[in-house]
Structure 1
Amino acid sequence: MPSRTFYVKPFNNDILKRLMAFSRFLGETGEGAQFVIDLERARTNGVRMEEIRRVLGELGVSLDTETLEQLEHEMPEYDVLFELKDENLVLNPRVRISDILRKYRINIPYDSVSKVYRTRPFYYYILKKILEDEGLRVKKLDLQFERFSMGLNVELRSYQVEAIKAWKNNGFRGVIALPTGAGKTLIGIEGMSEVGSSTLVVTFTNEQLKQWAENIIKYTNGTPEVGLYYSKKKELAPITITTYQTAIRHMAELSRFNLLIIDEAHHLPAEKFREIALSCIAPYRMALSATPYRSDGKHVELFRLMGGLVYQRGIEELVAQGYLAKFKIVRIKTPLTTEERAQYDMLMKKFRSLSNGRPILEVVKKAREGDGRALEAMRVYSKLRYLVGLTKAKLSKIIEIIEKEKGKKVIIFSQYVDHAETISKILGARLLTGQMSKRERELVLEEFKSGKSGVLVLTTVGDEGLDIPDASIGIIVTGTSSKRQYVQRLGRLLRNNSGGKVAILYELIAQGTSEEYQSKKRRSLSLEDAFYSWEER
């Protein structure tokens, strides 16, 4: 029968100290000092089987073969084992690692029942490196990423090549900031080609998801299988494309990819969306955005999760080099009718009374806290904005501009669905709102893209990700003070510079109303600055 008891003779304090790292002292007998091997103590002290063999050998202690085999079986080959379970990274330590974690100021929840640590897959590579640097034997995750071979069939622009180079030099990680229309999707596709293995692309809308799939097929040779993972369709493939909303509900299935590409990445730092980056094991990461910086400071979290800002170019520079269309902005102030002015003044008086003269942001804060007067003030404020969103003069001016720009593609931006419906009905124009089904939106976009001219009326559903290369005229009927929204809307018109196109953005502003302030605020920075700074509303 195997025995873990052994005797040492002669015996002194130095020998005791060495043996106590992996055994317990039972006392002295006629055969010498008696010890018994304690594997739990050995694990706690980080003592491995080879060290036990070495110390015993130096002291002239021999254990029988059966005992040694049993010890080898119970003493694992690894000090720490990693596992992926659901959306968590599990660390199963066979030796004490708490001192190492404290050394690096790492605080990971410990499950005292299962005796494991649980954290997010995002931290796998840094934890593995730290533990290996500390001399521990780490059993790595079995991550067999599917390989593929693909290449672009178009030539990248010089700044796109620079962006890829900067990303690669940063360890295939980082945020790339380029204006809307500058071809960020092509940069993402080239990133896939460079990595050449399983890739997860996360888009903000279903329309963007489909655009990515179409562009991957259109602009590559040797394209691997592309899977769409959204709505009722759940296709996992070497290149899988999903949306933010789908990803946050299915990260257990979407965590094992080698490359993570986040489109419209300024959304990622939102509390629920950041879980996408934390739950994905991907060592290689690319974030794409026209407006990565946020006034709430959360862009710092974006940079932490995706690898820092590695490349950025501004709109004016790309326009000057001919990559984006030249543009001009025409601001038109439209008067209120006598009736509209009376209604506006009445609502404004009521708002000032309810808000006690406080700034709107302070009123918003109070309303979120449940303050009754603030809540009523916000309801009045919404009526104010709705009133000036589509006045009679604005409607007349829209008709005038459409007649002037006949034969061109025109996009009209509105904040309100019923305003958009009214404009669409009067002009006989196509309509795109978030209340329409996905199929209806797809048909509208296909029809508008295929036509040589036409008018498309949009609500905020079109503020991001809409790809209409030859639209050259935009009309902002209603907007906010958000620089991000303003920049995105202008960007809808700049995507294609073929034929020396000059884009025009008309901005309609109700004169003598809060719209004048909002217009001034959203253009208070230069366009160059606005592309890298946005205010979340």
Structure 2
Amino acid sequence: MSDESPTLSLDEFQAALQDLGRSVVTASQVARVLECSQAEASERLRALAEAGSIGSADVSGDPVVWYPIDLDAFASREHRILFPERREVVVEHPRQFTRAQLAQFAHLVDSSGDAYIYRIREEDVWQAPYDHLEDLLRTIHDVLPERSPHLDEWIERQWSRAHKFTLATHEDGYTVLRAASDDLMGNVALQKLDQGEHVRAPITDSEVWVVAERVGEIKRILYDAGYPVQDDRELESGEPLDIDVTLDLREYQQSWVDRFETANSGVFVGPPGSGKTVAAMGAMAAVGGETLILVPSRDLAGQWHDELLMNTNLTPEQVGEYHGGEKNIRPVTVATYQTAGMDRHRSLFDDREWGLIVYDEVHHVPSNVFRRSADLQAKHRLGLSATPIREDDREADIFTLIGPPIGTDWAALFDAGFVAEPEVEIRYVPWADDYARNEYVSSHGHERRQAAAQNPAKVAAVRTLLEEHAGAKVLVFADYLDQGEALSAALDVPFVSGEMRHSRRQVLFDEFRNDRRDVLIISRVGDEGIDLPNAEVAIVASGLGGSRRQGAQRAGRTMRPVGSALMYVLATRGTSEEDFARQQLRHLAGKGIRVTERDAPQVEPVVEEPNEDGGAAEDGDDASDEADGESANDSGVDGDTDESVSDATDRDD
């Protein structure tokens, strides 16, 4: 080979195979990919073969074909195939970076084995976390295996549709809806919106004066018509409040705050442990007005109260809580969604001049009882969630009512070491015995799902995992009271559920945080917001069907800046739990986290007597006071939709 001819690396050869979609190629085919002559391609291929990296064979029709020697290694490489007409991308053996990049603009449809199927939907383009179309297209071109003018044109059209309508504040203070053209105003907006209820009067052919109190409905109506609305109104700042954050925000947290300041609304979307609460405090300081923080539970309200006093200059007299336990309205008030939405309390919140509304665990907003709190459209609005997804397909409400997603690139935070990327494994558990299997076979519907979830063999599977991780800080999740109590009795570990007194729960949580207790069994009360920063391992003995949000939340209990993050999901072999487990982890897979599968060893279950902490002695004693709703559903949960989760777990007053 001449000194002037460039060499060909094995990686470049394998990339050419991927571009050509072949495992055996000719020199002329490689020449087209490398954009060189056939003679030069042949020379470079021979040099690679002489180095022992690839093989060759003479065949009729072409002098030589070339192929990778290690076909197994080639088969396990990442392969990306684009179907532009269907707007689908199939990725075999995807790298974490590829999955994370696809999550910026595509929806994970299926992840069976080593193949991941992504689809690019209209709403994926509308909600893509980019300020400019060029930035979105750059990411798409980086990750897709080939350019598609057809796909690029479709994406440009969708981006344009998302910028056709804008809400603005008129110089006289009222709210105006502007369309990009007279036709859009006349043939879309005025056809969909009601005169009087939504529209007060026309201003020009492309501008109308709209009812400010109906802005949320206007956004939703136009979104359903295929036109997301850009909200550029001058929002109220409320009564001034000087807030300083005593922590230094990380670079990405500051960028979230900067983007929020520009948009005046949005949803911080980051992995658990990424510091969304701290970033929210930065947003509070940027707005500089009195703030209402809405949370799904009393536990989370207490945590916010403590974090605000610890990490800002706010005094105890400036921070209040409003829920079933106490009712204090202060310049910064932390309230539960349920209480704030009740008619007898609501005027207290509506009458105050809030500058900012923070919606923690914002995926609750679309449920009927919580979306009433989203009527405060004239305020700065900030949502927080690691998992802005819903099984009832109403996540669009989140971004319509609150604002656009901000900060969705999990991979960058994993790579930078800000958050530990979890290792996730599905363990398939055999039936404990023929009696348990027969009970499953003879039942139907929810009873069948419950029989699989409460397979007695899971007790032994949990014990095995605890032995594998002896000394680690472990949370075991069980959605059924009977199962939680059985695990508690067998393992001599307390079971924390909604039926346990709030004070007792706090004692157990504090013992876990302060390293006086290594293992807790916990029901859905541990899914959201509970800060247990030293948890290292999560074991899911049972869950709410295929709820993707719950799967990510439970993995999130172990995701912190330091240490390992492990999650095991137990599923009874040969039952619907197999599909539920894969579905539940789909959100994590879509964020670039690899999920593995293996069989649990066959172990004979051991039945032991109940212990003092694990039985039902304290369950239900505080149900009316705490009212997290666990008692209503832990022992008989269906859990196929997020609505059932919200309605069951979010009662607070």
* TM-score category, normalised to shorter length: 0.5 to 0.7
User: What is the Cα deviation at residue 119 of structure 1?
Assistant: 7.1
Is this contact kept in 2: 1:429–1:454, CA < 8 A? no
Letter in 2 for 1:291: T
Q: Distance in 2 between matches of 1:163 and 1:465?
A: 20
How far residue 288 of structure 1 moved from its aligned partner, in angstroms, is 1.0
**How big is each residue's C-alpha offset from its partner over 1:274-319, in whole Å with a ceiling of 9 and x where there is no partner?**
11111x36521111111224454423322222232343222x3322
Deviation at 1:321, TM superposition (A): 1.4
Q: Does 1:251 align with 2:346?
A: yes
- Structure 2 equivalent of residue 493 of structure 1: 558
Matching residue of 1:186: 278
Shift of 1:105: 4.8
1:508-523 alignment to 2 at 5 Å? 508-523=570-585
Secondary structure of residue in 2 paired with 1:502: coil
Identity within the alignment, %: 29
Give CA deviations for 1:412-447 in whole Å, capped at 9, x if unaligned.
011101211121222221221112232222222122
1:458 maps to which residue?
522
Residue matched to 2:256: 163
Contact 2:360 2:384 (8 Å CA) reproduced:
yes
* TM-fit CA distance, 1:514: 1.5
Higher CA-based Rg: 1
Matched, 1:174 2:269: no
Unmatched 5+ stretches in structure 2: 1-171, 175-188, 199-209, 219-235, 594-639, 644-653
Cα RMSD after superposing both structures: 3.1
1:427 to 2:519 alignment? no
> Is the 8 Å Cα contact of residues 408 and 452 (structure 1) preserved in structure 2?
no
Residue 374 of structure 2 is aligned to residue 277 of structure 1: yes
Specify whether residues 328 and 119 from structure 1 end up closer, same or farther in structure 2 by C-alpha distance, changes over 3 A only. same
Q: Structure 1 residues 154, 179: closer, same or farther in 2, change over 3 A?
A: same
Distance, in Å, in 1 between the alignment partners of 2:441 and 2:393 is 37
Report how far residue 272 of structure 1 moved: 2.4
Aligned partner of residue 456 in structure 1, secondary structure = strand
Closer/same/farther in 2, CA of residues 456 and 167 from structure 1, 3 Å limit: same
Deviation at 1:251, TM superposition (A): 2.0
- Cα distance, 1:332–1:295 mapped onto 2, change above 3 Å: closer
8 A Cα contact 1:181 1:491, kept in partner: yes
Q: Distance in 2 between matches of 1:454 and 1:312?
A: 32
Match of 1:147 in 2: 240
1:360-417 residue CA offsets vs partner (Å, 9 max, x unmatched): xxxxxxxxxxxxxxxxxxxxx2222222223232111211222222222100011101
Residue 426 of structure 1 aligns with an amino acid whose one-letter code is: A
**2:418–2:561 Cα contact (<8 Å) kept:** yes
What is the aligned partner in structure 2 of residue 386 from structure 1?
450
Shift of 1:145: 3.5
Asked whether 1:401 is paired with 2:465, we answer yes
State the 1:81 CA deviation.
12
1:237 corresponds to 2:330 = yes
Letter in 2 for 1:508: L
Alpha-carbon separation, structure 2, partners of 1:535 and 1:317: 31
For the residue of structure 1 that corresponds to 2:242, the secondary structure is: coil
Q: Are 2:419 and 1:324 equivalent residues in the alignment?
A: yes
What is the TM-score of this pair, normalised by structure 2? 0.54
What secondary structure does 1:312 align onto? coil
Alpha carbons of structure 1 residues 507 and 295: separation in structure 2 relative to 1, 3 Å = closer
Change (3 A) 1:263 1:199: same
1:446-485 alignment runs, 5 A limit = 446-451=510-515, 453-479=517-543, 480-485=545-550
Return the alpha-carbon distance in structure 1 between the equivalents of residues 400 and 196 of structure 2.
Answer: 18
1:42 corresponds in structure 2 to none
Taking the aligned partners of 2:323 and 2:588, their CA distance within structure 1 comes to 38
Query: How many Å separate the matches in 1 of 2:569 and 2:458?
Result: 10
CA distance in 2, matches of 1:104, 1:329: 46
- Tell me the secondary structure at the aligned position of residue 155 of structure 1: coil
Determine helix, strand or coil for the equivalent of 1:148.
coil
2:422 is paired with a residue whose SS is strand
Aligned partner of 1:198 among 290, 299, 303: 290
Please state whether the residue corresponding to 1:164 is helix, strand or coil.
helix
CA 1:81–1:252: 2 relative to 1, 3 Å: farther
Q: Deviations over 1:65-119 (max 9, x none)?
A: xxxxxxxxxxxxxxx999xxxxxxxxxxxxxxxxxx9899554459xxxxxxx97
* CA contact 1:408–1:453 (8 Å) conserved in 2: no
Amino acid in structure 1 at the alignment position of 2:261: K
**d(CA) in 1 for partners of 2:214 and 2:286?**
21
- Give the alignment partner of residue 287 of structure 1, picking from 380, 383, 386: 383
Structure 2: how far apart are the matches of 1:524 and 1:286? 26
Corresponding position of 1:48: none
**For 1:216-236, what per-residue CA distance to the aligned partner results, in whole angstroms no more than 9, with x for missing partners?**
111113547101111152211
* Partner residue, 2:146: none
* Amino acid aligned to 1:173: S
Higher alpha-carbon deviation: 519-528 or 449-458:
519-528
* Residue number in structure 2 paired with 1:307: 403
Which residue type is aligned with residue 241 of structure 2? F
- Partners of 1:102 and 1:344 in 2: how far apart? 55
> Take 1:162 and 1:289, find their aligned partners in 2: how far apart are those partners?
17
Instruction: Find 1:418's aligned residue among 465, 473, 482.
Output: 482
Matching residue's letter, 2:484:
A
- CA-CA distance at 1:477 after TM superposition: 0.6
